[in-house]
A and B are shown apart, each in its own frame.
Chain A
Amino acid sequence: MPDVATRLNAVKSLRKELGSRLFFGTDLLREFGKNGAGEAFPPAGGVAGESGIAGLVAGLRPGRLTEVVVAGPSQGGGLVLAALLARARLEGSYAMLFDVGSGFAVESFPDRDLETLLWVGCDSVLQAVTAFDIAARDENFRWFVLDGREGKSEDWRAVRPSLWQRISLLLRERGAAGLILARTPVTGVSKDRHEVTARFGLEALHAERSRLFSAVRVGQGSGNHGEGGRRRLAG
């Protein structure tokens, strides 16, 4: 049995070697999963066996900016946010929500999903993107959601493309995932874009939320690559 000093030195050297990558034991599990499965995260656009919003959220990739376009009210945009918060809670990671218009209704989400959420109320799209730019540098947060459903098209257009580029770069560096909820496509920087559509009746208000997840249709968004896509950005 080695003495205490030897064991402490061994732990120190191990921590020195792994400390920057592995902070918690769950990181270790994630690393093992990556090595074993070859792909720690399912491909963008969903996973086999899961459909609707559950598949969309399960397929969100770390290090990338993803847009979810929700054309209007009651189309399932809030359910995307709910599913993402549930995933963050299950993973034990923190999420940050930039809420344009401060319309977040706390009573719509279970308490346990709110524990890992940091809410940032914003007046405008530009303020929210600026806050996103600040927060994306923080390695504590793994999920960032910019809820710009109430943002105006001209506000989205006022955001400098370089700001999006920087956010995208920061997300890639940190291995965090960014999600933008908007009425129209907003930036060409996002690598993945999905359109969410649903038609709920009043009976949906009493339906189990997990069933609603699968009732929402998720499609590949248009115009996220190439010049044609850029022309259609932000309305």
Chain B
Amino acid sequence: MRQETGRKAVRPETGYAVVWCRDFRLQAVRRHVQRLGPVALVDDARRQSIVLCANEAASRHGVAAGMPTVQAIARCPDLQVDRPSEAAELAARCLLLETALAWVPGVEETAPGILTLDLSTQPGDRWFDGAWTLRQALEDRGIEIVAGLGATPALARLAAQAALHEDEAIWLLPEDGRLERLDRLPLVLGETGPELREKLTLWGIQSLGAFARLRREAIAARLGDEAVELWLRLHGRLRRPLQFVKPGERFEAHHEFEVGVAEREPLVFLLRRFLGELSGRIADVGRVVASMHLLLSFSDGASYGRRLVPPEPTLDEEVLLRLATGHLENVEMRSTVASLRLWLEDSDPVASQRVFFGTGLRNRHRCEETLARLRRLVGADRVGSPRRINSHRPEIFARAPLPVELGENRGDPPGPPVSGPTLRRYAVARRATVRMREGRPFRIEAPGVSGVVNAVHGPWKSEGDWWHRGRGWERVEWDVDLLHQGLFRLVGTTRGWTLEGYYD
């Protein structure tokens, strides 16, 4: 009989984590605001303003959800109030999701601020460290969470509630010793109805551990389905499929100003914050920023939107900020800004291997910034890499973008050598008076340049664009050597003679 050695059936470990953000709506609003002391989120939309949630400091003063705001302030005179913000909540939800997705691919958004994570893709010995890293990553971005780890989603949720109750960062409900740990938890964490809790209390059952030690048949006979469901949950026998979310496809942030903003500084401040958040989220999913959409809404109902594209996809916040603020400087603000929206398009990171002994632009972003500043100074049509165009018409050439990379082969290509000095044109061709002798220029008089022609080459006749109505041109060129002056190009057209430039 052949003996199989070294092979062992590996059963994947199943486990779940529940990430719980306490007072999520409040945290979403104030995660960028460093406020110490009692804070409450209030709902002003109703006829009577009421408290939606409050932080621990406020709760210690007796402020509770559902309480009228007036009463809450009476109980806690130092209470600071905030209004809920859908935009802030959306941003916080996206942040939570994407941070969790950076750890595991299976994430369910159970409720706003509560995520259930399937840890089966991770080795069991790394669950705790992973949860801790997740907590740190979110804390760095202004969101405080607790996490519960358990064998089923229900146990993980219970563990998260235990963490909130025990004021611990991460709570574990392992297979071994589960009942002992449940002994520490009150019945209220079982999320059952008050009638069942009251009945169990009358029976002398004070903890979930004590309840779990009862026999299932006895519970079913005396307490009904709700109690059986709790018993199954506590024993890890109740499982439900998770509804996983897809990775975020829209990286967007927006802010509505309570009072219209007339200056650019607050906009730049917000842009910096948005870019920090959104680029961090994009980095978490292993992608980079390909373009930015900037949308400003003004108080008079007008709006302004622009897509800004960096020279190459990047995650550099400073580069993106310079691009956005550089553009913002040129936006004409006729009325105050009511809201600012920023949406980043993501793309794959650029994966290219440069030619080792080739050269090219060292910093494309810097180059684009320089070009933008130069264009603002001299005009957009006067910056570019000059290129000949397929025409004999003088003075015109194309402005091409600089090549990003230059090849290795930079030697002289085969072909005839370049000849002659270079031509330099005057900014404005100088009108000239030309005296002819035997059909050739003999003496030239023009502003700044006058003299006798020592030698002359020509005439060189050219014409073109006659097939376009009104754009045709025709000219006669002479290369003239003016005595003691130099070499010049003399041009004769139907409008007379001009000195176009000189050879240098």
**Which residues of A pack against B, CB within 8 Å?**
23-26, 29, 70, 72-79, 81-82, 89-94, 101-112, 114-123, 127, 130-131, 134-135, 137-140, 149-150, 200-202, 204-210, 212
Q: Is the CB of B362 within 8 A of A140?
A: yes
With contacts A92-B359, A204-B420 taken as known, whether A118 is within 8 angstroms of B402 at the C-beta atoms is: yes
B385 contacts A77, C-beta separation under 8 Å: no
B455 touches A114 (CB 8 A): no
Q: Does B501 contact A (CB under 8 A)?
A: yes
Cβ-defined partner of A101 (8 Å) among B361, B394, B406, B427: B427
Q: Which residues of A lie under 8 Å from residue B384 when comparing CB positions?
A: 118-119
**Contacting residues, chain A, for B363 (C-beta < 8 A):** 138-140
Q: Chain A residues with Cβ under 8 A from B504's Cβ?
A: 70, 73-79, 149
Starting from the known contacts A74-B502, A77-B424, A103-B424, 9 additional A-B residue pairs (CB-CB under 8 Å) come to A24-B358, A26-B357, A78-B503, A105-B425, A114-B388, A134-B373, A140-B361, A201-B481, A206-B420
Please report whether the interface of chain B is mostly helix, strand, loop or mixed according to DSSP. Answer: mixed
Q: Are B370 and A108 in contact (CB under 8 A)?
A: no
- Asked whether B487 is an interface residue with its Cβ less than 8 Å from the other chain, the reply is yes
As a 0/1 sequence over residues 349 to 388 of chain B, the CB contacts with chain A under 8 angstroms (1 = contact) are: 0000010111111110011001101100111001111111
B residues engaging A (CB < 8 A)?
354, 356-363, 366-367, 370-371, 373-374, 377-379, 382-388, 394, 397, 399, 402-403, 406, 410-413, 417-427, 455-457, 479, 481, 485-488, 501-504
Q: Judging by beta carbons under 8 Å apart, are B481 and A202 in contact? A: yes
Q: How far is the CB of B413 from chain A (nearest CB, A)?
A: 6
In the complex the two chains form, what is the Cα distance from A149 to B425 in whole Å? 11
* 15 pairs, CB–CB < 8 Å, chain A vs chain B: A26-B359, A73-B503, A74-B421, A79-B504, A91-B359, A106-B386, A120-B374, A120-B378, A138-B363, A138-B370, A150-B427, A201-B487, A202-B455, A205-B487, A212-B420
Q: How far is the CA of A76 from the CA of B487 in the complex (A)?
A: 11
* A131 and B485 in contact, given A74-B503, A102-B382 (Cβ under 8 angstroms): no
Chain B residue at smallest Cβ distance from A110? B418
Contact present for B419 and A206 (CB under 8 Å): yes
Who on chain B is nearest to A181 by CB?
B504
Q: Tell which of A76, A135, A150, A205 touches B374, judged by Cβ atoms closer than 8 Å.
A: A135
Tell me whether B366 and A114 are in contact (CB under 8 A): no
Check A90/B410 contact, CB under 8 A, given A76-B421, A119-B399, A138-B370. yes
Contacts of B362 in A (CB 8 A): 23-24, 139-140
The reply to whether B413 and A212 contact each other, CB–CB distance below 8 Å, is no
Roughly how many angstroms separate A114 CA and B373 CA in the complex, as a whole number?
Answer: 22
Which of A81, A111, A121 sits near B422, CB closer than 8 Å? Answer: A81
Contact A74 B487 (CB under 8 A): yes
Within the complex, the shortest CB–CB distance from A31 to chain B, in Å, comes to 13
- Say whether B382 contacts A120, CB under 8 Å: yes
Given A23-B362, A202-B457, does the pair A92, B386 have CB atoms closer than 8 Å? Answer: no
Verify B423–A107 contact, CB threshold 8 A.
yes
Minimal beta-carbon separation of B401 from chain A (angstroms): 9
Measured between beta carbons, the chain B residues less than 8 angstroms from A25 are 356-358
With a CB–CB cut-off of 8 A, which chain B residues contact A111?
A: 387-388
Q: Is the CB of B378 within 8 A of A127?
A: yes
Provide the residues of chain B in CB contact with A127, threshold 8 Å.
377-378
Q: Main secondary structure on chain A at its contact with chain B?
A: mixed
Complex Cα gap A104–B422 (Å): 9
CA distance A75 to B486 in the complex (A): 8
Q: Which residues of chain A come closer than 8 Å to B385, judged between CB atoms?
A: 114-119
Cβ contact of B411, chosen from A90, A93, A109, A114, cutoff 8 A: A90
- Pick from A81, A107, A134, A204: contact of B487, CB below 8 A: A204
Q: Which of A121, A139, A205 contacts B503 (CB 8 A)?
A: A205
Q: B403: which A residues are within 8 A, CB to CB?
A: 115-116
Whether A93 contacts B367 in the complex (CB less than 8 A), given A105-B423, A105-B424, comes out as no
Of A76, A135, A205, the contact of B420 (CB 8 Å cutoff): A205
A140: chain B residues at CB < 8 Å are 361-363, 366-367, 370
Task: Report whether B374 and A134 are in contact in the complex, using a CB–CB cutoff of 8 Å.
Answer: yes
* A134-B367 contact in complex given A78-B424, A114-B385, A202-B479, C-beta closer than 8 Å: no
Contact A108 B383 (CB under 8 A): no
Once the chains are docked, how many angstroms separate the CA of A114 from the CA of B463? 26
Q: Which residues of A contact B479 (CB under 8 A)?
A: 202, 205
The answer to whether A210 touches B378 (Cβ under 8 A) is no
Q: A115-B406, A117-B385, A119-B384 are in contact. Are A200 and B455 (CB under 8 A)?
A: no
Return chain A residues, CB-CB under 8 Å to B361: 94, 140
Q: Which residue of B lies closest to A196 (CB)?
A: B504
Known contacts A200-B503, A202-B481: A102-B422 contact under CB 8 Å: no
User: A205 vs B423: C-alpha distance in the bound complex, in angstroms?
Assistant: 10
Q: Are A79 and B367 in contact (CB under 8 A)?
A: no
Report the nearest A residue to B376, measured CB to CB.
Answer: A134
